Each structure stands twice: as C-alpha cells, then as structure tokens.
Amino acid sequence: MYDEHYTRLNQYRSLWILVFFDLPTETRKERKIASTFRKKLLDDGFSMFQFSIYMRFCASRENAEVHTKRIKNNLPEHGKIGVMQITDKQFGMMELFYGKKLIETDKPSQQLELF
C-alpha cells in the first residue's frame, strides 16, 4: 500500500497559480499591451477564472516557480498585477456562487506531465 502523503500529485504539494491584473485600456496602445499580456498567460497554459483573474495548475512548487518567473518576465510597464500560489487542497475548499445559488465545484483530476 502507498501513503497518499508521499504520492507525487497530492493536494498539499500541487499548487494553483492565480494571476490578478488591472491594466489600463484607455488608448489603443494600452489595449494592445493588455491583450498581449493576456495572450501570453493563455499561451503559458493559464485559463480564465474571471475577467481579470487567470489560473493554472502546477504539479509542484518548482513548476509553479517556472510559470511565476515567466509572468514576471512579461509584466507590462503600467497597471497592477498580483500573483498568488495556493495549494490544491485550499483551491478545493473554494465556494463558488452564481448570484445566491451555490455552484458545485468540479473535483480537479490529476494531470499527467510528459517530459
């Protein structure tokens, strides 16, 4: 038998990266910069959680650091960007609502990494 505590993908070792951003979009140039930042997040495997919140699952802290470093390398000159890492266990305890109605959250499946 194996102990779940020592498995490679457990809820305490795996992380979610959440990126929060508020970028200026007053001018055409600012909209282009904001769009480019968003596209780079999507290209790096992030998905939209809400309009200016993107998220990505990472199997380990080391993997999360790689993606966090990519975000830092692509920061626009203006605007506010926040990056937060939480464990899969913490992410699973989130309650989501649509209006006053509680939405059942999907259990994240284990993802297979091929290198």
pTM for the full predicted model: 0.79
Q: How confident is the model at residue 101 (pLDDT cuts 50, 70, 90)?
A: confident
pLDDT value of residue 99: 87
- Within 8 A by CB and 6+ apart from 7, the residues are none
What residues are paired with 83 via a beta bridge? Answer: 19
Q: In angstroms, what is the C-alpha Rg of the chain?
A: 16
Biggest CA pair distance of the chain:
60
pLDDT value of residue 2: 47
Collapse the DSSP code of 114 into the 3-class scheme (helix H, G, I; strand E, B; otherwise coil) and give the result.
coil
pLDDT value of residue 32: 97
pLDDT value of residue 13: 84
pLDDT value of residue 108: 61
Percent above pLDDT 90 for the chain: 70
Burial 68-78, CB ≥16 within 10 A → b, else e: beebeeeeeee
22 known ligand binder? yes
